[in-house]
C-alpha cells in the first residue's frame, strides 16, 4: 500500500528528499511512498517523521529523523553507497586490452577491475587479430575471475584435437 497522506497546507509542511544518485524510492515513517528522489513531498503532518530511501544495487542508509513544521519545507539528503565487487580478467597469452560494456578500460591482462556496482557486465578482450567476450555477474564484495584463451587456432602442438569447444 502506497502511503500518500495529505493534510491541508496550513496544518502541515513538506519534506524535500534528495539522493545521489537520484531515483531512490522514498519511505516515510517506514512506509513506501509513491515518490522517488529528488522530490518534495507535500502535505506532511507537523511533527517528527522518519525518512529512508532504497535503491537497487545500493546499500540501504540509516533512517533520518526530520521535524516538519507548519508551512515549512524540511530537507533530507542521502549519499547512496553502491554495493560493489570486482572482476579479474586474465588471458592466455596475457597483454590483451580489456573492455567493459564496450568501454576501453585502458588496461591489459592480467587486470582486476575494482569497485564495480553489482550486476551483469560484458567483458571483452582484444589483441591483434583476436577478440572474445563473456557476460559475467558481479556480486557483493566478491571477485569473479574470467579467463580468455586467445591462442590462435592451429597453433601449438596439435594436442587440441578432440577438445570440447
Split at pLDDT 50, 70, 90, the class of 66 is very high
CA 50 to chain centre: 25
The stretch 37-50 carries a mean pLDDT of: 95
- E strand or H helix at 33: strand 31-36
Quick one: CA dihedral 33, 30, 11, 38, positive or negative? negative
Query: What does the pLDDT read at residue 117?
Result: 95
For 38, phi then psi, to 5°, come to -100, 125
CB 60 within 8 A of CB 73: no
Residue 82 · residue 57 · CB < 8 Å: yes
**Does the structure show a pLDDT above 60 at 115?**
yes
d(CA 63, CA 126): 46
Lowest mean pLDDT among 7-21, 45-59, 90-104, 110-124: 7-21
pLDDT over threshold 50, residue 157: no
Mean pLDDT of the chain: 88
Please answer whether residues 59 and 118 qualify as being in contact, where contact means their C-beta atoms are separated by less than 8 angstroms. no
Instruction: Work out the pLDDT band at 162, boundaries 50, 70, 90.
Output: very low
pLDDT at position 80 over 60: yes
- Within 13 A of 59's CA, how many CA atoms are on the CB side? 10
Residue 99 cell numbers, joined = 573492455
pTM (two decimals): 0.71
CA 137 to chain centre: 12
Grid cell locating 13:
509542511
Q: Are 88 and 144 in contact (CB under 8 A)?
A: yes
- What are the pLDDT digits (tens) for 100-112? 999 999 999 999 9
Amino acid at each position: 500500500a502506497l502511503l500518500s497522506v495529505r493534510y491541508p497546507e496550513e496544518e502541515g509542511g513538506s519534506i524535500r528528499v534528495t539522493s545521489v544518485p537520484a531515483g531512490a524510492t522514498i519511505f516515510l515513517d517506514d512506509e513506501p511512498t509513491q515518490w522517488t528522489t529528488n522530490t518534495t513531498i507535500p502535505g506532511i503532518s507537523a511533527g517528527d517523521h522518519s525518512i529512508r530511501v532504497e535503491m537497487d544495487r545500493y546499500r540501504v542508509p540509516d533512517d533520518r529523523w526530520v521535524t516538519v513544521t507548519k508551512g515549512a519545507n524540511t530537507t533530507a539528503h542521502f549519499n547512496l553507497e553502491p554495493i560493489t565487487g570486482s572482476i579479474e580478467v586474465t588471458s592466455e597469452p596475457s597483454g590483451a586490452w580489456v573492455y567493459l560494456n564496450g568501454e576501453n578500460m585502458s588496461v591489459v591482462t592480467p587486470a582486476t577491475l575494482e569497485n564495480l556496482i553489482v550486476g551483469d557486465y560484458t567483458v571483452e578482450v582484444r589483441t591483434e587479430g583476436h577478440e572474445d567476450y563473456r557476460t559475467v555477474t558481479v556480486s557483493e564484495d566478491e571477485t569473479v575471475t574470467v579467463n580468455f584463451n586467445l591462442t590462435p587456432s592451429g597453433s601449438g602442438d596439435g594436442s587440441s584435437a578432440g577438445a570440447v569447444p
